[in-house]
Structure 1
Amino acid sequence: MIDGFSRSRQSALLYLFMAATLCLNQMVAADNAQTPEADNPDNQLHTINTSLRSGFDQLKQLFTRQKEYAWQDRETAKEQSHDFERDILPVLYDKCLACHACYDAPCQLKFDNVAGLERGASKIRVYSGLRLGDTPPTRLGIDAQTAAEWRRRGFFSVLDAPQEGGQETLPLLQSMIDFGRENPLPQQDPIPDEIRLDLSRRHACPEPGEFARYREQNPHGGMPLVMAGLTDGEYDRLSRWIREGALIASTERDGSADAADSTHTEEIRQWERWLNRDDKRARLLARYLYEHLYLGHLYLESGEGANSRFYALIRSRTAAPAAPRPVATLRPNDPVEGDFHYRLARIDDSIVHKTHIIYRFDRARRRELMDLFDSQDWSVDTLPGYDSDARANPFETFAAIPPRLRYRFLLNDALYFVRNFIRGPVCRGQIATDVIRDQFWVMFESPAEERFTNRKAYREEVSPLLGVPGQKSSLISLGPEWLDYKAVRNRYLDRRTLRYAEDFPQGPGLSQVWNGETHNPNAFLTIFRHHDSASVMAGWQGEQPRTTWLMDYPLLERTYYELVVGFNVFGSVSHQAQTRLYFDLIRNEAETNFLRLLPPDRRKARYDSWYQNSGKLKMLMTYHDLDTTTPTQVLPGTDDSYTRVLQQLKKRSPELTGTSDAINRPETDHWSPGLTPEQRDTHRTLRVLAARPASDLDLVRWMPETTFLRVDHADGSREALTLLRNRRHSNVAFMLGESLRYQEGHDTLSILPTLVGSYPNLMLRVDAEELGDFVGTLLDVDSEAAMQAMVGRWGLRRMDPDIWPVFHSFRDLLETQAPLEAGVYDLNRYGRW
């Protein structure tokens, strides 16, 4: 029956499915939050209404002309009471940046760059699952350059005092912080259920003149939002600064920042000369490097964390020595009219962890790249264009660059490239992240045995089949585009299966798994999903997962181009759905690629356990048939061949896979040699909680996705750990109905001896001498009341004034562990504690 579906009927069903998505995606997000209000029909109706109102807001943006707000320079006091950089920026950094940064800043009001203060706020949300068409991009510093330009794009000031009824009223920023000091909630009580804090809530963004109505409709809508507010000193400084005209300039600049940047001038010039060479081979290589590095925060030397300078690789209208001026294309592989130059532009934004993906870009790196891409002879006859076909298929666009070199380039820093699509703009929100499991391990095919990079005839045969969707974003193109790409992808897998069977008649062995040349920590990775965000770590962390990925070069490159280069955060629901649906194919392909290491007669049972219930329908309608005939060279050992293969891989590369994780894998007593005696005691005490299912540990049912734990020792030292809730599902094959596939009794906790994730849902602070009591209390948590009692003793509630110093202490602790990776965490997902 399934085979008899006509193409038009499949398209029609897909359109009906997407129509349901438009109305239900926000409700599903609330439902999957597993909070008490999610089961309340009234709240579900509220969520649907919120979703529809958001959709109407987007339609209004598309079909009506936005209001324009007249821009006028603010009058500022001649004598300023406070210096902006010394006195004001720290307040914004400490109390505002935790929510107002990146694309998901409420009302697009960004505080990670001072230009965001002048730009102001907007009613249009960047992240929206209801856009019928693409929306114009609003990237700070790229899509408009002045406050007046932003006013024409519908942004309104939060610093100017608007006229209302002939009277001058307070600037919005002042009104918001005044409102936040009124009617505070109790410090030691959880937040009432009627106050919505989840991501699917309706964001009310009052324009000048609308604040009175906003205040009436949102009785606890002051800033910081339902969070301990400004101290008296902070409030006085910020208020006086606003009253004196909100001067965004420093009166005490000493030039030290410019002097620090000048130390990199020669290195920057060397990079720019190398990237802008004029021969065809150099130009193609520079394009390839740019498209893979444009999202990174590049550092030219290993500095001291917060004192380090980070740079972005951009396409600039200007050449050196003029200041870089970015080309405002939507994607890094969109065409540019006229000349452009690859430039390094200093990142002046405050560093926030969620967007901080670092990549070493020093002199040694340049030598590495030169040696790598000069290690084979290759030439370019004709440079590829930037049309939609070239953008969709990097395998054909960059065919002149030897694929072995491209694959090696990705492998050498696989953690960076995987972080781009796991922590980048694409992975924000439950609908985006429910395509992956809550915890799984990743590895890569050995470059010596990977077929695409080693067999020219095979490569030429399959390259046309490896394009990725998303170039066409109209709603009407969704069905045909998806059906085409699904069919082409499955034809590619037909050819891949045949090629590997011919080249490896005895089947794959462990040698087909890249071992990082025994020293590269990028060889084995762990991905954790945190419901509506995700993280990547080096090594195999946590308990043995239900699924494992084995990625070859086409998988790794396609994933990067689909989820990073080709993803438009301002795109329509069609574009977002195509991205999500294709990622589902990528995940399935990586999982089944790993299953080739298992004996043929054991694969189906393992595969069925990954795709239970409704997942079987996806097997029939969408996925490629599982290979259950090709042999394997990996000895099966026990009946649990999946565990056997993973054990052999860990034994083969113990340092890289992380066999010292004695917290989550208690069967081993291998403790990391770098632990202090105090840390080892902490880990031994906490290990009784790790990897136990919710059916055996009630606590798991009440824990949020991501909990930061700070342990304070008597000698004044501190350590930071993370408790991650791993949710289990019968399958992750569909965009909707995640709660229907949820298997709560199988949830577990992973306890990591470092900080994982960018969005803590709960923060705990425990004295080391209380650890035993703390763990005993956690073992006894069996209800919401017991959980709240635990939080009342050791947790930081939203209204607790201590929440801010503890919150920032985690950033400081990360800087001691990994200085270059430290950044301010995000509180947008903090629970209603």
Structure 2
Amino acid sequence: MKKIIVFMIFGLLMACGADQPAIPDSLPDRYVSLETEQGRLYRNHIQPVLDKRCIVCHGCYDAPCQANLTSAQGIDRGANKQVIYNGTRLTADPLTRLFEDAHSLREWREKNFYPLLNEDPEKDPLQGSLVYQMLKLKSNNPLDTIVEHNERLSTELFDFSLNPENICPDIDQFEEYAESHPHWGMPYGLPSLEQSELKLLEDWLQMGAPLAGLPGLDAIYLDQISIWEAFLNGSTAKQRLVARYIYEHLFLGHLYFDDLETNNNKIQAYFKIVRSRTPPGEPISIISTRRPYDDPKVDRVFYRLQRVTSSIVAKSHLPYALDNKRLQRFKALFFETPYSVKKLPEYNPELASNPFETFTDIPANIRYRFMLEHAKFTINGFIKGAVCRGQVALNVINDHFWVFFVNPDQEVLAGIDRFLNKHSKQLKIPPERESNASIISHWTEYSDLQATYLKEKSARLNELLEERNSGFNLDWVWDGDGHNLNAALTVFRHFDSATVVEGLVGQSPKTAWLIDYPILERIHYLLVAGYDVYGNVGHQFSTRLYMDFLRMESEFNFLALLPGETRTALREHWYRGAKDRVKQYVYGHAQLSVEPEIAYPDDQPAQQYLYDQLQQKLSKVLSNRYELHSDPVPEQHRRILQKLHGFQGASASILPEMGLLTVVDQHHQSRVYTILRNSAHTHITSLLFEQNNRVPDEDYVTVLPGFVGAYPDALWQVESGSLQDFVMQASRLKNEDDYDQLMNKYGIRRSHTQFWQFSDRLHEDFQLSDPVEYGSLDYNRLENR
């Protein structure tokens, strides 16, 4: 613990800022009508170039220097030296969320954002533009002057580490920056833009960089918005409480009207649910707060659908379909069951951060059903939300595991409302301390509350099972009602990012989770609704530690389906090397006295038998989209790639966490496969220094058709006739020299002369294969190997 605190304080002391220049009296207004020639130039030509060349690194919270180029507003806003993903700050940082925390150029300048575009009328538009100077610097010092085609870049010239030095010059500091780092022009560590693209941007910047919004929505979209806003803004206490619950669970979603999207290659419009001071029919006036449940400080909140005006990036894309079927389901779920809401809950942090108290009037089974029926979206919230970027946030989960859910129709769960009401205080979570939490002073409180809850939970389960003279069986696992693909999910972690997919994908994993309603709800309020990426080290530290509890409790639920002796053996295997107090925390407080009602054979490992039984039970709802044996995968590809799929051992550890392989056939048609290295650990209870718990000999490879992951570490391209050779080389890696040879022959390194052409085709394949999940990939993790 002392080492962790010293490390964080040291990082804080190393951080430095710069004096903010005076804000000029007059700031430019670059916005023009989309109907003008300049407006069409920006929308039809400039933003598409930025989407293809820039937002692959500058697309979200983790964009270098906060330069988010996915929208006109982000370009106009500029850059900021503040590092968002900073695990060392002792106090929470000011909020700088695009579209939320400021709405004018002057407001952004007051928040220490400096311009990327020229704002000095005395300067030439190009000379005063940081964008132009960065592009020109790269054009004057292209990669091919310092490295041969597809060779590794010099580690002395470039820093591709996870947390590189944050050098963010403004236009007045650019000359010094260029002298010190002549090869750090944009795109950083990648080839220059094509001359036609540079000329296009140069002409645009020369004319003052005009910006324009999106074209207006068709009337049919406006009709759907009206229907949904009417549903979300009913006047009764029940309607208002339900709307608050829906908003607090969907606020991160990119909503789209499934019935209207007839273009199969691209979703035309995405929306977000926002809190507004103004009712439907009036312009939206966003209520901006740190968390979706913070006090809005208005008498009445209105929930509105606001169009997403930024380009979509895969790492933060959470698509959620709205259609008439879903609307009718919401109405049936929340309003056909009789219950009353006499008084709306307050917004004080202690109450609002605890959904078991805030929404106690809505029956727990309804709340669980709501989250369960789109469980992939729910789990993806903590994977793709603000918490997703960072090793410390994600080293709480294994690299590959399956997720199941407790059946909401289990008869023994009938009394869950009484149980949760009785124990709601024990389910408090760290976000109630808001964003400036003490590092350790409150930790004992949450630890004791969780321990008490686990004891009460296991005692109640033992009592119920003994009353019915029964044990756990497969009926405890939700089957998706025979049609819902959310019943079984797979999570792949890629070091500091992760992906959730439907189905039981890949090899049988080391661990699995069985999630019940209290776990699912706490995951959401801990890591999504209650997590503040701008929060201090105490907030982030306590969030990570509490998630340990939820993971272990989910694993314990799964183990409850296994015989007692197997539970103990697996627990010991999953937590090899962990301290006894860690292993005993959940397993010591939660004890089940009843054996499961599943007949396990003597000649097969119990865990694998349980996996087989669950796959059989869920067969109707198991997606095979990411299986090599799925229909779209050519037989020749399947036969060859199967040799790499499941490959295990130290050689596997040489492969990157996540790579994309493009196989091109003789007709120049391509198919993309994701190659994942699942990193093995003795245990994952260490907050830092997880490398000490690695077991490379147990690493294994999973090969999946399509795109799984937003941050590729490596890109490969092979002709179909060379696929056998690629797989053979990849499965025989012994050291870095072997991997270097693989990359020389098949890799698309940062220095590849056709890098951007390959990138364009890769994104085209992504959009064609999965238009709903499609978003720009992020190249910040591309390895220099």
TM bin, normalised by shorter chain, reads over 0.9
Provide the residue aligned with 2:243 in structure 1. 286
Q: Alignment partner for residue 694 of structure 1, among 625, 649, 654?
A: 649
Q: Please state how far the C-alpha of 1:322 moved relative to its aligned partner.
A: 1.9
Specify the alignment match of 1:792 in structure 2: 744
TM alignment of 1:219-298, pairs within 5 A? 219-249=182-212, 257-258=215-216, 260-298=217-255
* 1:475-534 alpha-carbon deviations (Å, 9 max, x no partner): 663323221111101101101101111112332001101111222110000000000001
Is the contact made by 1:101 and 1:111 (CA closer than 8 Å) also made in structure 2? yes
- The residue type equivalent to 1:536 in the other structure is V
**What is the root-mean-square deviation of aligned Cα atoms in Å?**
2.5
Q: SS of the counterpart of 1:633?
A: coil
741, 758, 762: which one aligns with 1:806: 758
Deviations 1:650-678 (A, max 9, x none): 12222434579775xxxxxxx33x335xx
Q: What aligned pairs does 1:269-668 form with structure 2 within 5 A after superposition?
A: 269-302=226-259, 303=261, 304=263, 305-338=265-298, 339-449=300-410, 454-473=415-434, 477-505=438-466, 506-620=470-584, 624-625=588-589, 627=591, 629-638=593-602, 640-657=605-622, 663=628
**Aligned with residue 196 of structure 1, among 144, 155, 159:** 159
What is the DSSP-based 3-state SS (H/G/I as helix, E as strand, rest coil) of the residue aligned with 2:438?
helix
What is the SS of the residue equivalent to 1:370?
helix
Q: Which stretch shifts more, 381-390 or 455-464?
A: 455-464
Residue 6 of structure 1 corresponds to which residue in structure 2? none
- Distance apart, 1:713 and its partner CA: 1.8
CA shift in 2, pair 1:168/1:421, >3 Å: closer
The letter for the 1-side match of 2:391 is Q
Q: 1:218 aligns with which of 162, 173, 181?
A: 181
Is structure 2 residue 699 aligned with structure 1 residue 741? no
- Which digits, 9 at most, give the CA deviation of each residue in 1:177-231, with x for residues without a partner? 1111233332321122222112211110012311122223323211000101111
Q: TM-score, normalised by structure 1?
A: 0.88
- The 1-side partners of 2:692 and 2:118 are apart by 49
Q: Is 1:415–1:525's contact at 8 Å kept on the other side of the alignment?
A: yes
Query: 8 Å contact 1:317–1:326 — kept in the other structure?
Result: yes
The one of 3, 19, 24 equivalent to 2:5 is 19
Alpha-carbon spacing, 1:317–1:82, altered in 2? closer, same or farther (3 Å): closer
With over 3 angstroms needed to count, the CA separation of the structure-2 counterparts of 1:628 and 1:395, relative to structure 1, is closer
SS in structure 2 at match of 1:526: strand
Match of 1:72 among 17, 26, 43: 26
Separation (CA, whole Å) in 2 of partners of 1:494 and 1:622: 9
- Give the residue type in structure 2 aligned to 1:210: Q
Q: Following the alignment from structure 2 to structure 1, what is the Cα–Cα distance between the partners of residues 51 and 124?
A: 35
Given that 2:626 and 2:706 are in contact with CA atoms closer than 8 Å, whether structure 1 keeps it comes out as no
1:138 matched to 2:96: yes
Per-residue displacement from partner, 1:685-727 (whole Å, max 9, x unpaired)? 01111222124xx2x2321111011111223432111000100
Secondary structure of the residue aligned to 2:717 is strand
CA distance in 1, matches of 2:325, 2:381: 23
- Name whichever of 653-662 and 297-306 sits farther off: 653-662
| CA displacement, residues 367-414 of structure 1 (integer Å, 9 cap, x when unaligned) | 110011123101111111011121221011101111111111111110
CA contact (8 A) 2:267 2:772 kept: no
| d(CA) in 1 for partners of 2:119, 2:105 | 15
Supply the distance in 1 between the matched residues of 2:722 and 2:613 (Cα, whole angstroms): 39
User: 1:565-603 CA distances to partner (integer Å, 9 max, x unpaired)?
Assistant: 001111111111111111111101101111111111221
Aligned to 1:174: 132
1: distance between equivalents of 2:767 and 2:346? 43
CA shift for structure 1 position 278: 1.0
Q: Any idea what the Cα deviations from partners look like across 1:764-820, whole Å, max 9, x if unmatched? A: 111112212222222333222221221122111102232223223233223223221
**Shift of the alpha carbon at 1:824?**
0.8
* Residues 599, 632 of structure 1: 8 Å contact kept: yes
What percentage of aligned pairs have identical amino acids? 33
1:146-198 CA distances to partner (integer Å, 9 max, x unpaired)?
A: 11111111010111165999999432111111111233332321122222112
Mapped contact 2:72–2:212 kept (Cα < 8 A): no
3-state SS in 1 of match to 2:676: strand
Secondary structure of 1:720's counterpart equals strand
Q: Does 1:56 align with 2:15?
A: yes
Q: Note if contact 2:371-2:378 (Cα within 8 Å) is conserved in structure 1.
A: yes
Q: For residues 81 and 360 of structure 1, what CA distance do their matches in structure 2 show?
A: 31
Q: Map 1:38-49; keep pairs closer than 5 Å.
A: none
Partner of residue 119, structure 1: 77
- 1:180–1:220: 8 Å Cα contact kept in structure 2? yes
The letter of the residue matching 2:236 is D
AA aligned opposite 2:65: C
Aligned partner letter, 2:195: D
**Larger mean Cα displacement after TM superposition, 686-695 or 405-414:** 686-695
For 1:503 and 1:173, the matched residues in 2 are separated by 66
Question: Which whole-Å CA distance do the structure 2 matches of 1:655 and 1:218 have between them?
Answer: 57
State whether residues 722 and 753 of structure 1, in contact with CA within 8 Å, keep that contact through their aligned partners in structure 2: yes
**Alpha-carbon shift at residue 630 of structure 1 (Å):** 2.7
Unaligned runs of 5+ in 2: none
Match of 1:8 in 2: none
| Deviation, structure 1 residue 321 | 1.7
Would the alpha carbon gap of residues 504 and 139 (structure 1) be closer, same or farther in structure 2, given more than 3 Å must change?
Answer: same
| CA gap 1:149/1:660 in 2 versus in 1, 3 angstroms | closer
> Is 1:129 paired with 2:91?
no
Structure 1 residue matching 2:740: 3-state secondary structure: helix
Determine if contact 1:403/1:453 at 8 Å carries over to the other structure: no
Separation in structure 2 between the aligned mates of residue 444 and residue 290 of structure 1, nearest angstrom: 23
Question: In structure 1, what residue type is equivalent to 2:152?
Answer: P
> Which amino acid in 1 is paired with 2:342?
D
Residue equivalent to 1:5: none
Partners of 1:237 and 1:71 in 2: CA distance: 31
Structure 2 match to 1:29: none
Change (3 A) 1:174 1:640: same
CA contact (8 A) 1:68 1:151 kept: no
Alignment partner of 1:404: what SS? Answer: helix
In the alignment, the residues of structure 2 paired with residue 811 and residue 683 of structure 1 have an alpha-carbon distance, to the nearest angstrom, of: 23
Whole-Å Cα distance in 1 between the matches of residues 38 and 515 of structure 2? 58
Q: Distance in 1 between matches of 2:376 and 2:617?
A: 20
SS across alignment from 1:760 = coil
Using structure 2 for the length normalisation, give the TM-score: 0.93
SS at match of 2:168: coil
Matched-pair contact (CA < 8 Å) for 1:452–1:459:
no
Query: CA distance change for structure 1 residues 586 and 81 in 2, over 3 Å: closer, same or farther?
Result: closer
The answer for the alignment partner of 1:728 in structure 2 is 680
Q: CA deviation at 1:617?
A: 4.2
Q: Give the length in aligned residue pairs.
A: 768
Q: Measured at CA, do residues 131 and 407 of structure 1 come closer, stay the same or move farther in structure 2, by a change above 3 Å? A: same
* Partner Cα distance (1:457, 1:86) in 2: 58
1:683 to 638, 642, 656: 638
Quote the Cα distance in structure 2 between the aligned partners of 1:230 and 1:659.
Answer: 39
* 5+ long unaligned stretches in structure 1: 1-13, 24-47, 664-670
| C-alpha contact 2:397 2:493 (8 A) present in aligned 1 | yes
* Partner Cα separation in structure 1 for residue 694 and residue 123 of structure 2: 55
Return closer, same or farther for 1:115/1:475 CA change in 2, 3 Å cut-off: closer
